[in-house]
Structure 1
Amino acid sequence: MLEINLNMYHAVALAAVLFWLGSFLCGKIGALGRYCIPAPLVGGVCFAAVNTALYATGTAFITFDDTLQTVFMNIFFTTVGFTVSLQQLKKGGKAVFLCLMLAVAITVIQNVLGVFLVGALGPDSRLGLCAGSIALVGGPGTAAAYGQVMEGMGIQGASVAGLACATFGLVAGSIMGGPTAARRIKKHGLVCPAKAEAEDEDESGSTAFTTSSARFVEGFMLLMLALGIGSFVGSVLTRVTGITFPSYIGAMITAAVVRNVIDVVERDFPEEEVEVVGSMSLSLFLAMALAGLQLWLLVDLAIPLVTALAAQVVMMFLFAYFVVFNVMGRDYDAAVMTAGFVGFAMGATSNAMANMQAVTRRHGPSHVAYFAIPMVGSLFIDFINALIITGILDFLSK
């Protein structure tokens, strides 16, 4: 069989091409946009499918140097650390706190359920984490990152399993969110308290902003500072705790500290610029991670993963319908937040925003939901999820 090896420069060029391919397909295929499937995920899966076909027919097998994949992964998760602003959390008040506590609870529940079912049906219970919060609360980025970590621990098939489950979660979260909220609204006769029409929002959740090269330079230098110091912090954490952390944990913690110091001294933080760098890094990282999937490894894991994911869907509906709605206040805002919660707990914050837009366009605006859900889904839960996953993975590996 012919083996084609791509160096790290070829690999990043391939990732760019796959991003453009995914963007094209998302624009042409309505379902991809409707379910908020990321463009690099679409392009990467297409390449992985072609590579699998070449491998299955004994024609060729394409591999590439993943050095830059790890670099882009660490940069992206460093930008996540910069979003952890305690001042913003305080402004959110009770709704943000309650939503965050519910998100922590669902993170633990997803992992316990995944580990139990996959452990009962599969070769390694640790693979259950791939059908837990790694893929669902975490999404494709976390799935790709922890897939590398777990395969380094000898857990075969972790990357492909995690990304497959994350893709399923993106679709399931989009399908479930709106109907779950609509059922509550209809059953309780809930009415939007605000009479004004909701402001039009971009479905992608992105907004235009003005910037300058100086702000981009400042944001990038802050990223590099946190990335470098974070490498040292991660090494210290591993030595002190004896727990093997992902390579980005130290950088996330450092970035969070830097962000809050900047808030305390009341200096302007280049938030949008850092977010753009993070988005670019995530796109390249995901495209490379998905392009490297060896889909043939899923054959032996199919039954355990399908069983676990089916159970996760049932559990998510019950938790959102009975717990999230009641805890968040049993009113119209609670119903909208239920739709958003399902979105980010099963897929990504973009799914959450799409779910809430679908509900509010029909029933009216919910300013509380539009503040609390993005705050928890995109700012805080990724950070907490990483700590929970790392702790459980270390416990199961002993």
Structure 2
Amino acid sequence: MELRAITTFNLAILVLFLGKWLNQRFPLLRRYNIPEPVSSGLLVCLATWGIYAITGTEISFDLRSRDILLVFFFAGIGLNSDFRSLLAGGLPLVMLIAATVVYMFLQDLTGVGVASLFGLDKPVGILGGTASLIGGHGTAIAWTPTFRDEYGIGNASEIGIACATFGLVLAALMGGPIANILIKRHKLEPKAIEQPDVGLVHNQEHSQIDAYSFLSAWLVLNVSLTLDLGIQEALEEAGLQLPLFVCCLFGAILMTNIIPRILPKLAWSAGSRSLALISDISLGMFLAMSLMSLQLWTLAELAGPILAILGAQFLIAFAFALFVIFRLMGRDYEAAVVCSGFGGISLGSTPTAMANMTAVAKRYGAAHKAFIIVPLVCGFFVDIANAVIIKTFLNWFG
């Protein structure tokens, strides 16, 4: 049974409502910075699994409305970014890229090692490594023909999707606790009290936002998306393929650094509570749809080896964030927020990384640099490096 797109969208609103209520009702969820849509999205996911177990009915969702929410979110992030903050984040960006590439090799080595312990073919470990975790569902599906046709792994698609699915859940639960440990242990706090890039801080949830500021932010976002689509089309004609959300990020950065300087008297939405709220709801709805649509019953047959691989990957990712990423990023509050995002990078996806950081920023305060460098690493450099690393490992296996 597939729920129609409008039904899916309305249910996602209710799921996000529930997540916000759960996080307000149970301080433990806020203490460990669990993203609001994760708190409720996993409950819906488990509920659909229960319905399948009892009645045999498979519930699926029409997710056509989901992807537009993600581009709204990244356009909002870009509109809050000026060139000065980008230049300040130059060296940390390079260092995070380098550390992430090193971690990707470590992730594939871990996957291969655990797969070998279970007597599985070594390429299965790549499916339980960067092909599905850092790469996500899209990369796992894209590489399925190679694993199936060239390496004889007939269930490559199922393994890749299962690892990506469980990894997404672990990533959503890992980032907040990492940041909480670092912030408490090192007594960290933002350098300045500012409006977060996404959402409102918890004690400002009911801050008043007038219709003019909200409509202004919405208009600027839509104009930005028009520019972003033009950028993507121009790049495609030049032979360069980039995800739309990366084009949205770049296009919005260009707008927010050019238009206010050309028209200094124009009221600009960057840094406004309206823009932060739209970004927060967009990301929350996207993640709610992603989690509530997981079909856990399709993964049961592969549970044993996959859980072993993911258990090892979780421990290594957690330790790498705490002891490597935090030190490389400067051992300050921004570094702790980057580490929460790295939890999303390492086992999940770009939206999961951003949701982790959003949960931390809404509790403790803004982390502008983290919200720029993490999506750039996730959405551009990682995809390029991952293709090279997967191919390198597969060549080693002959």
The verdict on a shared fold, with TM-score over 0.5 as the criterion, is yes
- Give 1:150 shift: 4.5
Matches within 5 A, 1:382-393: 382-393=375-386
Question: What's the RMSD between the two structures over aligned residues?
Answer: 3.6
| Correspondent of 1:41 among 38, 42, 64 | 38
Which residue does 1:52 correspond to in 2?
A: 49
Which residue does 1:147 correspond to in 2?
A: 137
1:43 alignment partner, SS class: helix
- Give 1:308 shift: 1.2
Percent identity of paired positions between Structure 1 and Structure 2: 17
Which residue does 1:143 correspond to in 2?
A: none
Letter in 2 for 1:108: V
**Distance in 1 between the 2:362 and 2:131 partners?**
25
**Distance in 2 between the 1:15 and 1:51 partners?**
14
Which residue does 2:225 correspond to in 1?
A: 227
**Distance in 1 between the 2:213 and 2:361 partners?**
28
User: Over residues 217-265 of structure 1, what are the superposed CA-to-partner deviations in whole Å (9 max), with x where a residue is unaligned?
Assistant: 332222223323323433443454555x333222222222112212432
Q: Does the 8 Å contact 1:72/1:285 carry over to 2?
A: yes
Q: Does the 8 Å contact 1:110/1:132 carry over to 2?
A: no
Please identify, of 54-63 and 299-308, the stretch whose mean Cα deviation from structure 2 is larger.
54-63
| Correspondent of 1:313 among 299, 311, 318 | 318
Question: Against the structure 1 CA distance between its residues 351 and 222, is the aligned structure 2 distance closer, same or farther, given a 3 Å change threshold?
Answer: closer
For the pair 1:22 / 2:15, whether they are aligned, the reply is no
Q: Does the 8 Å contact 2:341/2:374 carry over to 1?
A: no
Q: Does the 8 Å contact 1:233/1:250 carry over to 2?
A: yes
1:37 alignment partner, SS class: coil
Letter in 1 for 2:309: P
Q: Does the 8 Å contact 1:82/1:255 carry over to 2?
A: yes
1:166 alignment partner, SS class: helix
**Distance in 2 between the 1:68 and 1:238 partners?**
23
Question: Against the structure 1 CA distance between its residues 73 and 258, is the aligned structure 2 distance closer, same or farther, given a 3 Å change threshold?
Answer: same
Which residue does 2:96 correspond to in 1?
A: 103
- Give 1:14 shift: 0.7
Question: Against the structure 1 CA distance between its residues 251 and 161, is the aligned structure 2 distance closer, same or farther, given a 3 Å change threshold?
Answer: same
Which residue does 1:246 correspond to in 2?
A: 243
Question: Against the structure 1 CA distance between its residues 393 and 338, is the aligned structure 2 distance closer, same or farther, given a 3 Å change threshold?
Answer: closer
1:389 alignment partner, SS class: helix
Question: Against the structure 1 CA distance between its residues 181 and 131, is the aligned structure 2 distance closer, same or farther, given a 3 Å change threshold?
Answer: farther
Letter in 2 for 1:234: Q
Which residue does 1:294 correspond to in 2?
A: 295
Q: Does the 8 Å contact 1:8/1:65 carry over to 2?
A: yes
Gaps of 5+ in 1: 135-145, 186-191, 329-333, 358-369
2:60 alignment partner, SS class: strand
Matches within 5 A, 1:1-398: 4-89=1-86, 96-122=89-115, 123=124, 125=126, 127-129=128-130, 146-148=136-138, 150-151=140-141, 154=144, 155-157=160-162, 159-178=164-183, 180-181=185-186, 204=202, 211-238=209-236, 240-241=238-239, 243=241, 245-265=242-262, 266=264, 267-271=266-270, 272=272, 273-296=274-297, 297=299, 299=303, 300-319=305-324, 323-324=328-329, 328=330, 334=331, 339-346=336-343, 348-350=356-358, 352-353=360-361, 374-396=367-389
Which residue does 1:141 correspond to in 2?
A: none
**Distance in 2 between the 1:105 and 1:352 partners?**
24
Q: Does the 8 Å contact 2:131/2:140 carry over to 1?
A: no
Please identify, of 14-23 and 120-129, the stretch whose mean Cα deviation from structure 2 is larger.
120-129
**Distance in 1 between the 2:140 and 2:217 partners?**
31
Q: Does the 8 Å contact 1:126/1:396 carry over to 2?
A: no
**Distance in 1 between the 2:9 and 2:380 partners?**
29
**Distance in 1 between the 2:81 and 2:72 partners?**
15
**Distance in 1 between the 2:281 and 2:83 partners?**
25
- Give 1:121 shift: 3.7
**Distance in 2 between the 1:239 and 1:126 partners?**
32
**Distance in 2 between the 1:247 and 1:158 partners?**
25
Letter in 2 for 1:78: A
Letter in 2 for 1:50: A
Letter in 2 for 1:80: I
Q: Does the 8 Å contact 2:93/2:377 carry over to 1?
A: no
Letter in 2 for 1:224: N
Gaps of 5+ in 2: 116-123, 145-159, 345-355, 392-398
**Distance in 1 between the 2:78 and 2:163 partners?**
25
